[in-house]
């Protein structure tokens, strides 16, 4: 493989040898993901480090792949819609913070897509290792809160729900799902029984964090992601042996999770009580004139009155309650242009992502993981607004990195 744009970029630096600079660059990328769970303050450490590393890379040689032209076109339209809605808002100053976060997330998408493009196998390995470390750290902190074993344990709880180093358990849970699905993939390449036990133990530990978030959306997200992953892997399996191994692994994982979950719910009072409450399909705050479902209808009606949008971040101020739907949330705040542009970006991503999942390559299985996690998160986003979920843009960027690498025949 030819030297990547980032590797070439670093060769012009005057400090240290090329291997040293490459190692440092990769360490920073790993660190970005390793601290990505620490978001209880804003801006988070992840935000600052990503901006610094991203600006450095783009300044010294990193470039967008030509294969990112179409998503960049739609995202440019989304940025334009944010600017227009901000200028037309009654108080544009209040829109600036929300708009800045949106721009940062788009920047993060572009950075991850670009840096993965040139050397996907190497970058995917580093990124997933950092992401797994972060997920384990997040669950550990969450368990500290749940078990109440240290002072200030309540920092990691939202009432009786585990939220770890996040502000909201409804974000903590979905954040762990890409790691959980990736660990299912890793079970397929386990070397021996001991290695398999270590990997499934790590998977069950991460799944425990998802379950203890008591987030109905996260539970739904996990079930959908795992189901779609299994279907796509079965469809793309290259032999009957692969198919049989996958069925065996998935069956074992499902049985293990169900046994542990049933045991926890029936024997641990705290878990059983919270589960019995959270397992109800409709909560009190979902219905009624001030419920989340009515808020969606109110937002749709408002977008018909103000087709240019009420301004980024203004839904909770103008409507008194955020519409819990990603696409409706974008439409009411950034107008029809924003909704069209963002929806176009998602449609193109799903189309190209599915295509790369069906094409044999060295990154096919990783792209399947990313694709199903994206799709399951989008399905969850029909009942929650994930507009500013950092990990959503991480998954989008990682998937586009694979798409562009495949188009460039780098894998």
- Exposure string of 372-407, with b = 16+ CB inside 10 Å and e = fewer, is bbbbbbbebbebbbbbbbbbbbbbbbbbbbbbbbbb
Domain count, the chain: 1
d(CA 67, CA 86): 30
Sign of the alpha-carbon dihedral angle for 216, 218, 222, 228: positive
274: confidence class by pLDDT, cuts 50, 70, 90:
confident
19: confidence class by pLDDT, cuts 50, 70, 90:
low
**pLDDT value for 14:** 42
Least confident of 167-181, 189-203, 290-304, 342-356: 290-304
Share of the chain above pLDDT 90, in %: 79
More confident of the two residues 389 and 91:
389
**pLDDT value for 4:** 52
- The pTM assigned to this predicted structure is 0.93
Instruction: Give yes or no for residue 12 having a pLDDT over 70.
Output: no
More confident of the two residues 276 and 159:
159
Residue pair 174/225 in contact (Cβ under 8 Å)? The answer is: no
Instruction: Give yes or no for residue 6 having a pLDDT over 60.
Output: no
> Which of 357, 363, 314 minimizes the C-alpha distance to 334?
314
Instruction: Give yes or no for residue 294 having a pLDDT over 70.
Output: yes
Instruction: Give yes or no for residue 18 having a pLDDT over 80.
Output: no
Instruction: Give yes or no for residue 267 having a pLDDT over 80.
Output: yes
Q: What is the mean pLDDT of residues 261-275?
A: 84
- What does the block give as tokens for 410? 């780098």
> Which of 157, 64, 269, 350 minimizes the C-alpha distance to 277?
269
Share of the chain above pLDDT 70, in %: 91
Q: What is the mean pLDDT of residues 160-175?
A: 96
CA angle 267, 272, 278 (to 5 degrees): 160
Of 235-244, 274-283, 297-306, 344-353, which one has max mean pLDDT?
344-353
Instruction: Give yes or no for residue 5 having a pLDDT over 70.
Output: no
Instruction: Give yes or no for residue 264 having a pLDDT over 90.
Output: no
Average pLDDT, the chain: 91
**pLDDT value for 118:** 86
- Structural domain including 21 reads 5-407
Instruction: Give yes or no for residue 266 having a pLDDT over 90.
Output: no
276: confidence class by pLDDT, cuts 50, 70, 90:
confident
More confident of the two residues 61 and 269:
61
Q: What is the mean pLDDT of residues 227-250?
A: 95
341-368 pLDDT, tens digit per residue, is 999 999 999 999 999 999 999 999 999 9
d(CA 295, CA 321): 6
Q: What is the mean pLDDT of residues 315-342?
A: 93
Q: How many CB atoms lie within 10 A of CB 191?
A: 8
- What does the block give as tokens for 9? 């970029």
241-257 pLDDT, tens digit per residue, is 999 999 999 999 999 99
Phi (first) and psi of residue 158, to 5 degrees: -120, 95
Residue found under tokens 């909770």: 316
22: confidence class by pLDDT, cuts 50, 70, 90:
low
């Amino acid at each position: 493989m030819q030297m990547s744009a980032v590797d070439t970029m670093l060769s012009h630096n005057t400090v240290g040898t090329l291997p040293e600079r490459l190692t440092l660059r990769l360490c920073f990328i790993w660190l970005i993901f390793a601290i990505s769970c620490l978001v209880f303050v804003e801006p988070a450490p992840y935000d600052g480090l990503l901006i610094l590393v991203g600006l450095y890379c783009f300044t010294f040689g990193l470039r967008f792949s030509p294969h990112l032209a179409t998503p960049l076109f739609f995202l440019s339209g989304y940025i334009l819609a944010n600017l227009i809605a901000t200028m037309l808002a009654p108080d544009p100053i209040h829109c600036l913070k929300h708009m800045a976060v949106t721009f940062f997330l788009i920047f993060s998408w572009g950075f991850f897509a670009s840096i993965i493009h040139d050397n996907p196998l190497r970058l995917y390995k580093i990124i997933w290792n950092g992401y797994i470390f972060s997920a384990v750290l997040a669950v550990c902190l969450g368990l500290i809160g749940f078990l109440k074993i240290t002072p200030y344990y309540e920092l990691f709880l939202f009432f009786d729900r585990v939220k770890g180093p996040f502000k909201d358990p409804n974000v903590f849970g979905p954040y762990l799902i890409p790691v959980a699905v990736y660990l299912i993939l890793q079970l397929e390449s386990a070397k021996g029984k001991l290695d398999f036990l270590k990997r499934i133990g790590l998977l069950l530990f991460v799944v425990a964090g998802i379950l203890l978030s008591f987030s109905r959306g996260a539970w739904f997200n996990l079930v959908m992601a795992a189901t779609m992953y299994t279907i796509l892997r079965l469809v793309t399996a290259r032999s009957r042996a692969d198919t049989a191994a996958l069925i065996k692994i998935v069956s074992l994982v499902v049985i293990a999770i169900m046994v542990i979950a049933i045991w926890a719910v029936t024997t641990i009072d705290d878990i059983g009580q919270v589960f019995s409450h959270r397992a109800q399909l409709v909560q009190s705050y979902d219905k009624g004139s001030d419920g989340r479902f009515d808020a969606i209808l109110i937002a749709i009606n408002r977008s018909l009155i103000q087709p240019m949008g009420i301004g980024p971040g203004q839904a909770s101020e103008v409507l008194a309650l955020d519409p819990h739907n990603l696409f409706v949330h974008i439409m009411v705040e950034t107008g029809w242009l924003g909704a069209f542009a963002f929806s176009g970006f998602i449609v193109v991503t799903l189309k190209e992502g599915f295509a790369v999942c069906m094409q044999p390559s060295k990154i096919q299985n990783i792209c399947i993981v990313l694709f199903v996690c994206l799709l399951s998160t989008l399905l969850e986003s029909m009942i929650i607004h994930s507009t500013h979920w950092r990990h959503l843009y991480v998954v989008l960027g990682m998937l586009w990195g694979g798409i562009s690498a495949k188009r460039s025949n780098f894998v």
